[in-house]
Amino acid sequence: MADKNAAAAVMKPATRAYVTLLANDGADDDSFKGVVGLAKGLRNAGSAYPLVVAVLPDVPESRRRVLMDELGCVVREVQPVYPPHYNKLRVWEFVEYDQMIYLDAGFQGSLENIHEKFELNHGPPPAPYVDADMFVYKPSMATARLLLHMIAVMMRPRATIADHVMVWLRIRIADHVMMRPRTTIADHQQAAASSSRQFSNSLTTAKQVMKVFFMAAVAVVTIYLHYY
């Protein structure tokens, strides 16, 4: 019975993982060496969670095999983002995990007890910021699409004030959804419908107030004309 329980524990999918990004750097192996060093460092630190390597399409199969077969990494191909600096945004799409820690391939911090960072992701999150070599987050397709949309808006050659206002609003939404483990587009559609109903109710109230003022004005004019 104990053997069966142990086997079941081994087969249970991980709900947490570390993740990093790898792009093809040609003859220069610095990025690949960084990922290899990160994988070995986590293994030497006795990590209980896998390292997911998000690879761009140009990463050769030979390097992918080294990461999977020799280092036990989980390799996931992702599509590029423009500008390339924001390729990290793709890691929000790994919704099969409840929580992840992003570690840059050149991460210089200590990997000892790095798993304790999973427990620090509480309280209101800061505004989405991906220019970092380490951050803790909860994957969400809704958040991924919001962040990618914000980048697309900010990269427009002639962004208007309205564009920037919408970006700001979406950042506020992302602040909220990043703390939710499994958010979906349906969540945001429901929130949008609720906001639409509130806006409609506000318009109805405004119309009623304007109607009262109009009727009062008509009454005042009528009285004035009657007596004067």
Catalytic residue among 4, 12, 88, 207: 88
User: 88 catalytic, yes or no?
Assistant: yes
Give phi and psi for 133, each to the nearest 5: -90, -5
Nearest to 178 by CA among 125, 103, 116: 125
Query: Locate tokens 């119309």: which residue?
Result: 207
Tokens of 193: 């419908």
Non-local CB neighbours of 156 within 8 Å, separated by 6+ positions: 163
DSSP 141: H
* HEC assignment per residue over 157-213: CCCCHHHHHHHHHHHHHHHHHCCCCCCCHHHHHHHHHHHHHHHHHHHHHHHHHHHHH
* Cα separation, 100 vs 117, whole angstroms: 10
Question: Residues with catalytic annotation?
Answer: 88
